[in-house]
């Protein structure tokens, strides 16, 4: 069986996979809003953990792990880069001297804290997007926006399909190169990139020819899709609405705001801790009895 990308959609009987697009998007969108805009480190950690719990509840284990690893790399990079290029802050931890381009470089606790907040945002965003990509059928997205922007919807759907295929091709080609034996010449990055590019262009030509043969774009009629509601929609509507309202109110009133400059100031209150508990426990919304036991793993 061909190994799929960790974030590729795999049909399963999970709650996110079978739920309607609107309530599922509202539920995961509330996590995305918090992870993208909040500055409260506890809320960011809770939202990231809640999104991971939601993914595990729908058997998106590989997507969660892959997103965590990628997000952790981004978070560490953000901390290191911000600590080097930003010398603001009152608490100086190290003085590295003066460099030709960077100028005077001082490592401050405030710069590290600011980079950590940016890194937490990136990691949480990656986890939410990974869960959404692995659990939401791209065809449902195409059907949802078909009547509004047909060509844009098709483009977005093809991208969501073809990008994981390119990642799968890269893994398959790398494995094939390793199996050639120690006597074979090593495959360089340029040769690998050339093979991936040529394969992607061939696939794009095949897709375009298939669309042309099926007469896409020539029909002037509108195709109506009948949406079949899921028995899990109500829970996502209710929990997603509560989380979205809580997220917006928390951002408007700056609940648990984390100040980095000129000095670190952070004093979580009862409302901030309430948001932490809410987003953490809401991840179990996707869990159902027997869901993990009956999982079909890719």
Q: Is residue 59 part of a domain?
A: yes
Q: Is residue 145 part of a domain?
A: yes
What are 210-247's pLDDT values in tens digits? 776 766 666 555 555 566 677 888 999 999 999 999 99
Pairwise pLDDT comparison (212 vs 39), residue with the higher score: 39
Radius of gyration of the chain (CA): 23
What is the predicted pLDDT for the residue at 224? 59
How far is 141 from 127, CA to CA, in rounded Å? Answer: 19
Q: Domain total for the chain?
A: 1
How far is 111 from 181, CA to CA, in rounded Å? Answer: 48
- Report residue 67's pLDDT band, with 50, 70 and 90 as the boundaries: very high
- Report residue 159's pLDDT band, with 50, 70 and 90 as the boundaries: low
- Kindly state the average pLDDT of the residues 109-115: 87
What are 168-211's pLDDT values in tens digits? 777 777 777 777 766 666 777 777 777 777 877 777 777 777 77
Q: Is residue 222 part of a domain?
A: no
What is the predicted pLDDT for the residue at 189? 74
Check whether 149 has a pLDDT greater than 60: no
Q: Is residue 159 part of a domain?
A: no
> What percent of the chain has a predicted confidence (pLDDT) above 70?
79
What is the predicted pLDDT for the residue at 296? 46
The region of weakest confidence among 17-21, 90-94, 184-188 is: 184-188
Pairwise pLDDT comparison (222 vs 5), residue with the higher score: 5
Pairwise pLDDT comparison (182 vs 111), residue with the higher score: 111
Domain region containing 98: 15-149+229-286
What is the predicted pLDDT for the residue at 201? 78
Query: Which tokens belong to 61?
Result: 């284990």
Check whether 107 has a pLDDT greater than 80: yes
Q: Is residue 186 part of a domain?
A: no
Q: Give the number of C-alpha atoms closer than 13 A to the C-alpha of residue 2, restricted to the C-beta side.
A: 14
Q: Is residue 195 part of a domain?
A: no
Which residues, 6 or more positions from 41, have their beta carbon under 8 angstroms from its beta carbon? 116, 117, 120, 258, 266
Which residues, 6 or more positions from 252, have their beta carbon under 8 angstroms from its beta carbon? none
Q: Is residue 70 part of a domain?
A: yes
Q: Is residue 117 part of a domain?
A: yes
- Kindly state the average pLDDT of the residues 56-64: 90
- Report residue 276's pLDDT band, with 50, 70 and 90 as the boundaries: very high
Q: Report the chain's mean pLDDT, rounded to a whole number.
A: 80
Pairwise pLDDT comparison (221 vs 27), residue with the higher score: 27
What is the predicted pLDDT for the residue at 190? 78
How far is 15 from 287, CA to CA, in rounded Å? Answer: 7
Check whether 253 has a pLDDT greater than 80: yes
């Amino acid at each position: 069986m061909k190994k799929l990308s960790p974030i590729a959609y795999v049909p399963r009987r999970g709650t996110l996979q079978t739920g309607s697009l609107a309530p599922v998007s509202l539920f995961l969108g509330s996590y995305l809003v918090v992870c993208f805009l909040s500055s409260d480190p506890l809320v960011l950690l809770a939202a990231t953990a809640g999104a991971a719990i939601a993914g595990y509840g729908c058997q998106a284990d590989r997507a969660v792990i892959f997103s965590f690893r990628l997000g952790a790399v981004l978070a560490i990079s953000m901390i290191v880069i911000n600590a080097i290029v930003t010398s603001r802050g009152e608490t100086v931890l190290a003085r590295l001297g003066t460099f030709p381009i960077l100028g005077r470089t001082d490592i401050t606790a405030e710069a590290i804290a600011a980079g950590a907040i940016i890194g937490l945002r990136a990691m949480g965003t990656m986890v939410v997007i990974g869960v959404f990509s692995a659990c939401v059928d791209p065809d449902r997205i195409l059907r949802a926006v078909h009547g509004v922007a047909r060509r844009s919807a098709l483009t977005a759907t093809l991208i969501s399909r073809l990008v994981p295929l390119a990642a799968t091709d890269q893994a398959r080609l790398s494995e094939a190169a390793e199996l050639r034996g120690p006597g074979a010449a090593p495959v360089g990055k340029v040769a690998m990139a050339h093979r991936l590019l040529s394969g992607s262009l061939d696939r794009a030509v095949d897709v375009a020819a298939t669309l042309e043969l099926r007469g896409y774009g020539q029909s002037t009629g509108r195709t109506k899709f009948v949406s079949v509601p899921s028995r899990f929609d109500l829970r996502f509507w209710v929990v997603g609405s509560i989380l979205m309202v809580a997220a917006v109110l928390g951002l408007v009133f700056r609940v648990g705001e984390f100040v980095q400059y000129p000095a670190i100031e952070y004093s979580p209150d009862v409302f901030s801790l309430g948001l932490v508990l809410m987003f953490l426990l809401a991840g179990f919304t996707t869990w159902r009895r027997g869901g993990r036991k009956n999982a079909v793993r890719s």
